[in-house]
A and B are shown apart, each in its own frame.
Chain A
């Protein structure tokens, strides 16, 4: 079904007069995934999925939800009836009442797709051929003492969303996404380590770009060499150290340590809240540190409107070290003492929107330039020289953590963790490589130790964020490598041999 027809159905059904209030979401998604393993095609998967979700409110603000993977008028009407019946049942047994959305003004917008290469520009065979060429380049990568198993995958998605509300709101937008990913596994005997490098964009243009300039290939070479050293390296003894994190880890830090803790639905239990209100004005770091969240066009986590139909705002969470704003949605922002910023996102039409991040950035005002380098090793060598010149290099241990592998937070206790691919001690002239240990700390301690950054700013680290059983794309980065002073509440790893 084309987007125009979907918009008509949403407009007709959501715009009808109801005793309460209705939010209707329709989504149509197309996807193609191609995977190659060690020179052979492993899978080509195509999928179409579309459906509608309706959240209905009684006049008093009790809500119910229903969804189906069909888009047609009859089903839409049935979903409204079903959601309304559930809302009434919920009100009868004493649920929470929330009428916040009743008073928000309507929005009307239709954003075009705007990609250079439409979803069907290339046939699946053409995509396979391009990917096979890119994958075959990896055969040229040789390590001194071991082989590498390679997987290459390409995923191209086109999501169309249309959101309608009883107040006449009707917004629709496309979210196109494409990602090219090389995953390598370096192993020798029982020891093995996986790593990945990726390139993201909005369409098959990323395949053309990679065929043309081989940027991802060069990253794969660099990472493979680094991981090859990590594989046989010692593990960092557990402890607290001065550390420097790359832009991917900066995204992880901002996302895990701060982003989740300022989401309005979590204010009741967040360590950054008091009595259910976000502690706006709280000094959370030294001056000169900013954290910002906002949707960027063409980004992996692009989201121009919330899943409730509100415009997604750019939010300065921390400015100059002071907690300024949270990520608020229509339902809980006021209760959490923060502004509504259109933060609601949903995994699919069948999910209830929750306040979520999009692209989160950690930026320091103090920034030291770093000469550009072709390889990680040269970059770290340049960094060591710059730090010596600036009098910033610590003696003995000064670890650079490389490659974000994911993280997790408990916003109640303020504990967060994340993991990296490996570490390098740049206090050591030999730039000794170490196996990683988990990076863990307390939300309220970590930002106070952020000092400055060096190197090129990058905000295209991508991932998947899981919350309440819903997985959505997330992204972000930092104003370069971020320096974190030694702090007893921030620790690196530990292993069995430390005992």
Chain B
């Protein structure tokens, strides 16, 4: 045995193919090994490096395995490098995995090697930060502290991640690849929050645009605006739209939930391409966008990244399917969305956010909501408190307002009155909706 988790693990699994474990040989296997290094910095109550947010370094190496035994049973486990890597340890582990095996005839397919897409998911600049050769993260912390609004209680988090991953299978997939992530987020008085999350560093222009937007919104929020009225329209900000995508779209487009009767939609809905949204609305998983947070090269199952259309021109197209549910669906596995930001929502008639704002006479921009995770994802109904809402009057942001909103997510997407507003600063669009708001 060596000090290398991947080498030891693949050797152990190959041996189990040659000789039985508790009387049964291993037929096929998949191993995904993740080696991750993370640097984190933070600001709490205007102070960098507080005792709750000290500069941190985290290092981990772990693996996920999926095994298919000769009798058709399978096993799934998470493990890490053992403190003493010897034959006895691995024998015990194999026996335990075998004892924990279960029957699932649809899960036993292991993908074969296939061409990987060209997609940029690793940035050398981030590796330099992890290696200590680049002080950008510390500079960003300093930049937030020196530019923050003087009267605001400011909090912030900065994270740089560098990963070296390996996906190996008994079917011949042998992929080693690198990935990176960089996030920076801040909040003023826990009310106005903004962030950046990609697989590369934030550029100077991006920083300036995002910072200016949040700082100006904070200044406007401090002014008390007039209450909302009967005709006030509700605009959901991109971060709220993204949270709603996570709460409503992800569970209802999941192949597993559809098969198990826990989705709003049925198999038949997809087969018939049922129209469920207003024409012009499309949903897509696109993991091929360079340096996008939710882009990837291949899934941990070994399936190469590709684009998947979930809904096209208002009609259902495909759920997202891992290998197991692709087999049940009798098709190929699809792209997998990692979080709400992994799904692209587009509308044929979408406008720019700047243009949308100009045309709103009486509205409220919802920057954050409380309680979305408690809402029923199947019915789509919601009623939510809005701790940070900005009043819009005559095309301009006009001050803070405390409101509650209610409506139905599915009805928003079915409405001919929905307008999507796009901004270069955000992954998701703004939604101009007809949902209800009331003063608190």
A residues adjacent to B (C-beta < 8 A): 1, 32, 37-38, 40-51, 55, 62-72, 82-83, 86-87, 89-90, 93-96, 98, 123-125, 128, 147, 149, 151, 185, 187, 190-194, 235, 238, 265, 268-269, 331-332, 350, 352, 354, 405-413, 415-419, 435, 437-438, 440, 468-469, 491, 493-496, 498-499
Cβ–Cβ < 8 Å partners of A83 in chain B = 57
Query: Do residues B371 and A418 form an inter-chain contact, with CB atoms below 8 A?
Result: yes
Cβ–Cβ < 8 Å partners of B81 in chain A = 69-70
Contact of A48 among B80, B191, B440 (CB under 8 A): B80
Within the complex, what minimum Cβ distance (angstroms) separates B32 from chain A?
A: 14
Cβ–Cβ < 8 Å partners of A440 in chain B = 370-371, 385, 404, 440
Interface-centre pick from B81, B84, B260, B262 (highest chain A CB count, 10 A): B262
| 17 A-B residue pairings within 8 Å (CB atoms) | A44-B101, A48-B80, A50-B80, A65-B54, A67-B59, A68-B59, A68-B60, A96-B49, A193-B379, A194-B262, A268-B45, A269-B45, A269-B153, A413-B191, A418-B371, A438-B384, A468-B52
Within the complex, what minimum Cβ distance (angstroms) separates A434 from chain B?
A: 12
Query: Do residues A98 and B51 form an inter-chain contact, with CB atoms below 8 A?
Result: yes
Which residue of chain B has the shortest Cβ distance to A82 in the bound complex? Answer: B57
List 16 extra interface pairs beyond A45-B76, A47-B77, CB under 8 A. A1-B84, A43-B102, A44-B102, A48-B80, A50-B80, A68-B58, A86-B54, A90-B54, A95-B50, A96-B49, A193-B376, A265-B52, A440-B404, A491-B404, A493-B383, A495-B383
Cβ–Cβ < 8 Å partners of B14 in chain A = none
Instruction: Check if B116 is an interface residue, CB within 8 A of chain A.
Output: no
Cβ–Cβ < 8 Å partners of A498 in chain B = 406, 436
Within the complex, what minimum Cβ distance (angstroms) separates A350 from chain B?
A: 5
Which residue of chain B has the shortest Cβ distance to A71 in the bound complex? Answer: B83
Contact of B190 among A95, A187, A411 (CB under 8 A): A411
Query: Do residues B78 and A49 form an inter-chain contact, with CB atoms below 8 A?
Result: yes
Instruction: Check if B307 is an interface residue, CB within 8 A of chain A.
Output: no
Interface-centre pick from B80, B189, B371 (highest chain A CB count, 10 A): B371
Bound Cα distance A94, B19 (Å): 60
Query: Do residues B260 and A38 form an inter-chain contact, with CB atoms below 8 A?
Result: yes
Known: A48-B80, A55-B54, A493-B383. A410 touches B406 (CB 8 A): no
Within the complex, what minimum Cβ distance (angstroms) separates A482 from chain B?
A: 19
Report, nearest first, the 9 A-B pairs whose CB atoms are least far apart: A95-B49, A419-B374, A149-B261, A124-B100, A417-B371, A192-B378, A90-B49, A47-B78, A406-B374
Contact of B378 among A193, A350, A493 (CB under 8 A): A193
Known: A44-B102, A65-B54, A93-B49. A415 touches B96 (CB 8 A): no
Cβ–Cβ < 8 Å partners of B75 in chain A = 44, 46
Within the complex, what minimum Cβ distance (angstroms) separates A5 from chain B?
A: 8
Contact of A69 among B80, B100, B402, B408 (CB under 8 A): B80
Which residues of B in the span 70-104 have a Cβ within 8 Å of any Cβ on A?
75-81, 83-84, 96-97, 99-104
Interface-centre pick from B45, B191, B383, B408 (highest chain A CB count, 10 A): B383
Cβ–Cβ < 8 Å partners of B99 in chain A = 123-125
Known: A440-B404, A495-B383. A69 touches B62 (CB 8 A): yes
Query: Do residues B438 and A238 form an inter-chain contact, with CB atoms below 8 A?
Result: yes
Query: Do residues A494 and B100 form an inter-chain contact, with CB atoms below 8 A?
Result: no
Cβ–Cβ < 8 Å partners of B57 in chain A = 64-67, 82-83, 86
Which residue of chain B has the shortest Cβ distance to A420 in the bound complex? Answer: B374
Bound Cα distance A68, B38 (Å): 11
Cβ–Cβ < 8 Å partners of A495 in chain B = 381, 383, 406-408, 436
Cβ–Cβ < 8 Å partners of B52 in chain A = 265, 331-332, 352, 354, 468
Instruction: Check if B411 is an interface residue, CB within 8 A of chain A.
Output: yes
Bound Cα distance A405, B48 (Å): 36
Query: Do residues A494 and B404 form an inter-chain contact, with CB atoms below 8 A?
Result: yes
Cβ–Cβ < 8 Å partners of B435 in chain A = 496
Instruction: Check if B138 is an interface residue, CB within 8 A of chain A.
Output: yes
Query: Do residues A408 and B371 form an inter-chain contact, with CB atoms below 8 A?
Result: yes
Query: Do residues A66 and B406 form an inter-chain contact, with CB atoms below 8 A?
Result: no
Interface-centre pick from B78, B375, B404 (highest chain A CB count, 10 A): B404
Bound Cα distance A332, B49 (Å): 14
Which residue of chain B has the shortest Cβ distance to A191 in the bound complex? Answer: B379
Instruction: Check if B387 is an interface residue, CB within 8 A of chain A.
Output: yes
Known: A187-B261, A269-B189, A415-B387. A48 touches B79 (CB 8 A): yes
Bound Cα distance A131, B45 (Å): 48
Within the complex, what minimum Cβ distance (angstroms) separates A265 from chain B?
A: 6
Contact of A494 among B80, B190, B383 (CB under 8 A): B383
Cβ contacts B352-386/A at 8 Å (1 or 0 each): 00000000000000000011011111110111110
Known: A45-B77, A71-B83, A411-B190. A66 touches B56 (CB 8 A): yes
Query: Do residues B48 and A406 form an inter-chain contact, with CB atoms below 8 A?
Result: no
Known: A47-B77, A410-B370. A70 touches B83 (CB 8 A): yes
Cβ–Cβ < 8 Å partners of B410 in chain A = 190
Cβ–Cβ < 8 Å partners of B190 in chain A = 269, 410-412
